[in-house]
Structure 1
Amino acid sequence: MTNPNKMIINLALFGMTQSGKSSAGNILLGSTDFHSSFAPCSVTKNCNLSRSCLLHNFMRRGGQEITLQVQVLDTPGYPHSKLSKKHVKQEIREALAHHFGQEGLHLALLVQRADVPFFGQETLYPVQMMQELLGHAWKNYTAILFTHAEKIEEAGFNEDGYLHEASDMLLTLLNSIQHRYLFQYRKGTSLNEQRMKILERIMEFVRENCYQALTFK
C-alpha cells in the first residue's frame, strides 16, 4: 500500500568529466554509493542508480509531515575519455527509461565546476545531450549545480558576484532554465548540513513544477 506521507524524488546528474557528479550524488544520498576520485580520465563508465535512506519529517505538505527519499542516477561524463557520444547517449537513454520511465524524472542537475569558466563549444556538449535525451521540456526540469563553490569565496566573490561576472553563455543558459541553480561547498559546514541545504533548494524547484515529473516511454 502506498504511503501518502512518503515522497520519492528522482534526480539525474549530467556534466563533463571530473565536474564532480559522483561526489555530488553522494552528498545528495548521504552515502558513498558512487565511486568518486580524481583521475586523468573519465571515471564513471556506466549509469548507476542509488536511493537514500528515509528522511523523516523533512517537510510539511497539506498539514502532514512528509518523509522524503531521494533516488539519484549518476551518468558518465561527456566528453568521455574512452566512450563515444553515441555510446554515452544510449547508456543514459536506456537508464532513464528503465529507472524513471513510469515514475518520471523530477529534476536533471547539470553539474558544473564553479572554478572552471563556462564557455566554449565543448562546455555545451552535456547541455546538448540533455536536450536530446529529455526532449523539448528539458528547460522545465533542469537546474545547475555548481560544485567546488568554496573556490568562489577563496577568490573573493560571493554567489551573486560570481554570477554577475559569469560568461554570457552561462547567463543565457541560466535565463533559459528560469535561474534554477544551487552551490555545493566542500568546507565550512558538515556534510549533513550541506546535504539538507541542497535538498531544500531542490524541493523548491520541484514545488515550482507542482511536483510533476518528466516521463520516458
Structure 2
Amino acid sequence: MTKRDKEREGLLENMTSEVETSKRQLESLEKELQDRNSQLQDLRTQLQEQDPDPPHVRRRNSMERYEPNMCVAVGGPAPPVSPAVSELRLVLLGGSTAGKRAAGNTILGTEEFGRQASTLTPTHTSAETQHSESREGEVAGRRVTVVETPDWFCSGLSEKDLRQDVGRCVRLSAPGPHAFLLVIPVEPSEGVERKMLEKMEDMFGEGCWGHTLILFTHAEGMRERSVEELLQTGSQELQQLVEKCGNRCHLVNVKDMPDDTKITQLLEKIEEMVSGNRERFYSSETYQEAEKQLREIERIIQKEREVEERKLREERERREELDKNVQESLKMMEGEIQQHEGEIRRNISITKEKMEGEFNRHMEEKNREMEGLLDTVQKLSRLVEEADEQRSLQS
C-alpha cells in the first residue's frame, strides 16, 4: 500500500468516525427535545385546566356584613345565617394524613376524590394526590368548587415543586378562593400547626388568615370530642393557629353518609366569614406572582425548545453536509482506485508480454544450442563408426 493510499484510508476512517459522533449527538439532542416537549405539554395541561363552568367561577353576589363567630362544631347550634351565595371556591390544605380527600368528599357529598382517605390513619398516604385537583358540585343550592392540594407542608417537597403546584392551585381556584380550609385531624402530629403557620404566611402572605378556617376532621369510631375540648387540650401552637384564623374552626365527622344539614352549616359558616371580609375572595400578589412564574417558565421552555430545535436543525444540516462530503470523497477515491487498477492491469500486461518475449527468446537460444549439440553428437557418432570400419578392414 502506497503512502497516498494510506492517507486516503486514514481520511475515510476519520470521516466515518465523525459521522458516528454526529449521529450520537443528534440522538442526544432529539431525546433532550422530546423531554422538553413533554415538560411543555405538562405545563400547558396545567394552564388549560379551567373550571368546567367559567361563568360560574366569575360570578359574584352581594352579601351582608357579619362579624366572625367563634369556633363552632358541625352539628352544634347553627350560627346566624347570612344570605347564601351562589358559588363557593374552597381550597383544602393540610398534611398527608389530615384527611383532605375525605373532607372534600364529605363537602361535595360524593366520592369524587376517592374514598381511600376516609380512615384518617397515620400510615395512609397512598390516596394523597400528587398535585392539586379540582372538583365541583351542587351543595345546598350552591355551586361549590373544592380544590384538594398535596402536602405543601411536607419538608421533602422542593421549593420548585411547591411553587409549581401553588400556580396550579391558582388556576383551579381562579379568580381566587373564598376560603382556605386548614384540614387538621383531631389528633394531629407533633409540630404540624407550626409548619402550617409558617408555610401559610410564606405562600400566601399575612392577608390569607382573614380567608382561612380550620377544619378538624374526625373519623367514625373515634371518641367524640367537642371543639372546646380540642382547644383546651391542644398545644400552644394550635392556639396560635386558631387565633390567626380569627377563632374560626369546625369539627367534621368524616363518614360514609355525610349529614347534609351539617355540611350546610359549614358552608354558612364560610359564607359568614366571606361576608365579613373586605375582599370577597382571596387575591394577592403571591397568586399573581405564581401565575407570572408559570408564564415565565413556559416562555423559558419555549425558548429552550426553539434553541434545541435550531441546534437539531443545524446538526442535521451539518450531518447531511458531512455525508455529502463523505460520499463525494468515496466517489473520488473509487475513481482513483479504478484508475489505479487500470494502470496496474496495463503494467501487468506489459510486464507479462515482456516476460513472455524474453522467455521465448531464451527458449529459441536454448533450442539452437540443443540443435548444435545434436549435430556435434551425430558427427562424433559417424567418426566412431568410420574408425570402427577401418579397424575391421585392417584386421
User: Among residues 168, 171, 175, which one is paired with 1:98 in the alignment?
Assistant: 171
Taking the aligned partners of 1:164 and 1:195, their CA distance within structure 2 comes to: 25
The letter for the 2-side match of 1:13 is: L
Taking the aligned partners of 2:147 and 2:209, their CA distance within structure 1 comes to: 19
CA contact (8 A) 1:110 1:145 kept: yes
The letter for the 2-side match of 1:105 is: P
Check if 1:45 corresponds to 2:45. no
Does 22-31 or 3-12 show the bigger shift?
Answer: 3-12
Deviations 1:119-176 (A, max 9, x none): 42x5433333322222231111111100017677x26x43212212211111111112
Q: CA deviation at 1:89?
A: 1.5
Matches within 5 A, 1:1-217: 7-38=86-117, 40-42=124-126, 43-53=128-138, 55-56=140-141, 68-80=142-154, 84-101=157-174, 103-116=175-188, 119-120=190-191, 122-148=192-218, 154=223, 157-186=225-254, 190-209=258-277, 212-215=280-283, 216-217=287-288
TM-score (norm 2): 0.45
CA RMSD of aligned residues (A): 3.0
Deviations 1:59-91 (A, max 9, x none): xxxxxxxxx21111100024559x623254124
Taking the aligned partners of 1:205 and 1:93, their CA distance within structure 2 comes to: 23
CA contact (8 A) 2:98 2:185 kept: yes
The letter for the 2-side match of 1:116 is: P
Taking the aligned partners of 1:10 and 1:4, their CA distance within structure 2 comes to: 11
Taking the aligned partners of 1:142 and 1:168, their CA distance within structure 2 comes to: 19
CA contact (8 A) 2:152 2:162 kept: no
Taking the aligned partners of 2:258 and 2:138, their CA distance within structure 1 comes to: 18
Q: Which has the larger radius of gyration?
A: 2
CA contact (8 A) 1:49 1:72 kept: yes
Give the secondary structure class of the aligned counterpart of 2:176.
Answer: coil
Give the secondary structure class of the aligned counterpart of 1:178.
Answer: coil
Identity %: 24
Deviations 1:24-65 (A, max 9, x none): 111122221113425543521011011112643xxxxxxxxx
CA contact (8 A) 1:46 1:75 kept: yes
Q: CA deviation at 1:14?
A: 0.6
Deviations 1:79-114 (A, max 9, x none): 559x6232541243212331334x221110110001
The letter for the 2-side match of 1:69 is: R
Taking the aligned partners of 1:27 and 1:142, their CA distance within structure 2 comes to: 19
The letter for the 2-side match of 1:26 is: N
C-alpha distance 123-176 of structure 1, shift in aligned 2 (>3 A): closer
The structure that is strand-richer by fraction is 1
Structure 2 gaps of 5+ residues are: 1-54, 62-84, 118-122, 289-395
C-alpha distance 40-97 of structure 1, shift in aligned 2 (>3 A): closer
The structure that is helix-richer by fraction is 2
Name the count of aligned residue pairs.
200
